[in-house]
Structure 1
Amino acid sequence: MTKKKRSFPSAFTVLFIVLIAVAILTYIVPAGAYAKLKYEGEKKVFSITKPDGSAEEMPGTQDTLDKLGVKVGIEKFTDGSISKAVAIPGTYEEVKSNPQGFIEVIKSPIKGVYDTIDIIMFVFIIGGVIGVLNSTGSFDAGMASLSRATKGREFLLIVVVTVLISLGGTTFGLAEETIAFYPILVPVFMAAGYDAIVCIAALYMGSSIGTMFSTVNPFSAVIGSNAAGISFTQGLTMRTVGLVIATIITIVYIVKYGKKIKADPTKSLIYDQKEEITEKFLKGYDPNNVPEFNGRRKLMLIIFTLAFGVMIWGVSSKEWWFTEMTALFLVVGIIIGAISGMGEKAFVDKFVAGAGDLIGVALTIGVARAINLIMDGGLISDTILNASSGVVTGMSSGIFVVMMLIVYTILGFFIPSSSGLAVLSMPIMAPLADAVGLPREVIVSAYQYGQGLMAFITPTGLILATLAMVDVTYDKWLKFIMPLMGYIGVFAAVMLLIQSMF
């Protein structure tokens, strides 16, 4: 009798394990909440929601903020820089426990799908467009042409992709949008002799490093600084230096791994999945027998590529979100279908089949959100923040900054939203820097570095949806990323120590 080989659980199973673990925490960790303050622009008042759920209004003035101990300029609220509810220091209270039981756990993935339907629709439409393009032979012809152009210089793919995505992350928070790139770039990297992990690393780590060392990203650097009561330009030089060095460290790490597996494919961490991943992304691809890269196929690829440029422009300068991005690619898909010359029935069949290929990815996104819903429902996030602030109180400045990095790494698991963590934690944590004689921009950097570091691996973030898209299991990613996570973590701590000296 042949012994069945054990395999690592799928992304869904990992997420459900984490979901159950978090639900158990809601029975162990006391429920608690801070009072929250939100500016009501029309009435020019602050609405305050207390831990017990009661609410009151106070004048929308600087005097009100000073009385409440929220050390932020009133203009940050009146001009819309801070639009979310902000935690009020010193108001934490334990509240009635609300443990999340069996019913809540079962309902949470369904609610998670509803809550992320905008992202899910984006994934489906991207899948549909990819399905249409694949059926025309455009990708195969384009990959063969690119492969010939980069022969002997394949490492440039890693460098260019990582740098560009990192720039997107540091400037406007390019993160969820990268989901669109995987179905296109994974086959390109594989055709160049790399494995799928190299492509994941270039895209995912490019985004993660960019957002971790955010310079002008409005969702972390700007909102975090605003919530701390300082300008985002404070600490900007150190974060820029950090971005450059961390990006170089990441590229060297990925290139070194890529070089190793190009020399010996059996060294690939996913060598045992080579056949199935090749079947998924390079099915029927033969570089010596590809369709002609004619004018029609070139035009379709150019239009598809330009769509990403339009998407980045819209997100960075026109405040687009998933509705606009999804509409863009729907239009692009229809245009490509018309140019291809395929009939209406063939277009619909290929589009639906392509969207269907990403159903698993879409559901993974919904289940990941379910974990956040359970934490919110169990009222434990504020309790963990309050306990964390107590841990770092009274420390020397050097130990304080390193501990803040660790604290924010932990908080990054429980609160994966960068803007959400900023407005919740900064009014609580920033004053602690004053107590040890440190500038508040150090706290902003610690928040970015800690949450960014946790994003490398946290199941509550994007990584499991990313891995599901490429059919790579979580354990393989952990084996690849943990050394790099260690290097970047030590580097981040050193950067904080240097920043605290000035």
Structure 2
Amino acid sequence: MEQPVKKKRSFPSAYTVIIIVLIMVQALTFFIPSGKYSTLTYDSGKDQFAITNARDKTIMEPATQETLDKYDIHIKVGKFRDGTIYRPAAIPNSYEQIKKPKRGITGTITQFLKAQVQGISDSVDIIIFILILGGVIGVVNATGAMDAGMMRLSEKLKGKQKWLIVIVTTLIALGGTTFGLAEETIAFYPILIPIFLLAGYDTLTAVASIYLGTAIGTMSSTINPFSTVIASNAAGITFTDGMPLRILMWIAAVGLSIIYTIRYAEKVRLNPASSLVADQAETDRKRFLGDQFLSKDSTFTKRQKLTLLIFALGFVVMIYGVQQLGWYFTEIAVVFLGVAYVLALITGLGEKKFLDSFVSGAAELLGVALTVGLARSVGIVMENSFISDTIMNFFSNAISGMNNVIFIWFMFLVYIVLGFFIQSSSGLAVLSMPIMAPLADVVGIDRAMIVDAYNWGQGLIGLVAPTGLILVSLAVVNIGFDKWMKFVTKLLVMTIGLILVFLAIGVLI
């Protein structure tokens, strides 16, 4: 009798992983008490501070340094007026438990479902950007310009494959440490993955080079306005305090990630069977290179060159706008929509083929877009259940009075936990720094070390947190989270060791 074939179990998809995390957080809301810190918010229209307590009662006070001193918030009043501190700042020693919102079974199910819809709604600007980008890529692919251009590039890469990893990771890490390049890197995957495949690497190498660049770069932030600058201001210090240590950390952490990626990538290039995604290698090559590319029968016409030039200019404008003009995803989406209109005029595809290519390209990234929205739902459940402040209050009480080295190490671990639940770097900075920074004075260390513990803790967890960008990045190339964990675990351990050494040096020198 023929034995039934056992079905191979596969690791859950990105959507399922996020839903599992969402269910776990939903369960935690029943056990973690609800609570809130009083907050101080600047009202620019009235030039006053609004002080809101845990029971949502608000009083107005003059927007002066004396008011900030009164509430033990060590931030210059000018930082509120110039918009540097634009989120509500938590008031130290003001935490109060509040009555847990009554939900019951029906209310819990409603919150669970509503959070997902709200997460998608709150992420609509990013989702629109991803879909428009996908449409533009679909059009570029339909012209054959991508295939022809990559074929020429592959000829120049022979013998220099390692430099591809070095250059891509370093440039993206520079963007991360300076202006917070993060979600924008989603645009680079469809462009860079074919180049990595042509160099003899796998799709995991491409994800590692791009994602480690942004994750390690933002973790080792030096002048990133969304983390180091806003955290330093909220801690009552200037962002240049502690800068030499942060620069050294960036060099060490980025260098470690590059060496780690190259070792894996070269092993794959010399022995493709050693790839962690070897089972999908053929599918990946067909998807990202295409039959035309695999046949090596591509010509590179002037029209194709012009198409790629216009496409590349879109990225140049995007990077300039984000770095110099403070653009976010609405403005970036407008840029690529403009690129689509220009391509409609110059590609010669015809109206029907152009639209079909645009729609099919957008459809390719629809799953990625939905992953972004679902990831946001975890934070929404925590916000609506008022448990974030409770977690922070617990840790702030636990770490006071420790030895300075143990204190800063524990602070780093605290920010790993907080960073898992609160993915917004600026939100976590303004919420936590007024509470955590004064603890540095108690143990006799520089407040800049608290900023480092915050940066490195919340940045490190970004390497693996399902609530962050990693699942979005993996969804682009259909790589399971389990395969990413197999790849990144050793690097994670080495990076933790590196951070602990740097933190100890920082408090001892």
How far apart are 1:45 and its partner, in Å? 1.0
The equivalent position to 2:445 in structure 1, one of 401, 424, 438, is 438
Q: What 5-or-longer segments of structure 1 have no aligned partner?
A: none
The equivalent position to 1:24 in structure 2, one of 21, 24, 27, is 27
Paired residue secondary structure (1:47): strand
How far apart are 1:287 and its partner, in Å? 5.2
The 8 Å contact of residues 144 and 290 in structure 1, kept in 2 or not, is answered as: no
Q: Is 2:88 aligned against 1:85?
A: yes
The equivalent position to 1:244 in structure 2, one of 243, 251, 262, is 251
Q: What residue is the counterpart of 1:309 in the other structure?
A: 316
Q: What residue is the counterpart of 1:366 in the other structure?
A: 373
Paired residue secondary structure (2:51): strand
- Matched to 1:267, the amino acid is S
Residues 35-90 of structure 1, C-alpha deviation per residue, up to 9 Å, x if partnerless? 01011122121101111111111111111111111112222222222111000000
Number of residue pairs matched by the alignment: 502
d(CA) in 2 for partners of 1:80, 1:122:
26
Q: What residue is the counterpart of 1:354 in the other structure?
A: 361
- Matched to 1:334, the amino acid is Y
Q: What residue is the counterpart of 2:260 in the other structure?
A: 253
Paired residue secondary structure (1:286): helix
The 8 Å contact of residues 140 and 290 in structure 1, kept in 2 or not, is answered as: no
1:250-329 matches, within 5 Å, as 250-286=257-293, 289-329=296-336
d(CA) in 2 for partners of 1:489, 1:305:
37
The equivalent position to 1:344 in structure 2, one of 342, 351, 354, is 351
d(CA) in 2 for partners of 1:306, 1:247:
27
d(CA) in 2 for partners of 1:123, 1:204:
17
The equivalent position to 1:36 in structure 2, one of 39, 53, 57, is 39
Superposed structure 1 runs of 4+ greater than 6 Å apart? none
TM-score of the two chains, using structure 2 as the length reference:
0.97
- Matched to 1:137, the amino acid is G
1:311-460 matches, within 5 Å, as 311-460=318-467
Paired residue secondary structure (1:8): coil
Q: What 5-or-longer segments of structure 2 have no aligned partner?
A: none
The 8 Å contact of residues 270 and 472 in structure 1, kept in 2 or not, is answered as: yes
Residues 82-139 of structure 1, C-alpha deviation per residue, up to 9 Å, x if partnerless? 1110000000000111267111101211111111000000000010001001111111
Q: What residue is the counterpart of 1:63 in the other structure?
A: 66
Q: What residue is the counterpart of 1:2 in the other structure?
A: 5
d(CA) in 1 for partners of 2:218, 2:11:
29
The equivalent position to 2:171 in structure 1, one of 164, 167, 175, is 164
- Matched to 1:92, the amino acid is Y
d(CA) in 2 for partners of 1:2, 1:338:
54
Residues 247-295 of structure 1, C-alpha deviation per residue, up to 9 Å, x if partnerless? 1111000000000001111111111122322232122143552321122
Q: Is 2:242 aligned against 1:200?
A: no
Q: What residue is the counterpart of 1:227 in the other structure?
A: 234
d(CA) in 1 for partners of 2:81, 2:151:
55
The 8 Å contact of residues 151 and 298 in structure 2, kept in 1 or not, is answered as: no
Among all aligned residue pairs of Structure 1 and Structure 2, give the percentage whose two residues are the same amino acid. Answer: 49
The equivalent position to 1:74 in structure 2, one of 77, 98, 107, is 77
Paired residue secondary structure (2:293): coil
Residues 409-448 of structure 1, C-alpha deviation per residue, up to 9 Å, x if partnerless? 1110011100000000000000000000001000001000
The 8 Å contact of residues 277 and 483 in structure 2, kept in 1 or not, is answered as: yes
The 8 Å contact of residues 144 and 287 in structure 1, kept in 2 or not, is answered as: no
The 8 Å contact of residues 133 and 139 in structure 1, kept in 2 or not, is answered as: yes
TM-score of the two chains, using structure 1 as the length reference:
0.98
Q: What residue is the counterpart of 1:12 in the other structure?
A: 15
d(CA) in 2 for partners of 1:4, 1:276:
21
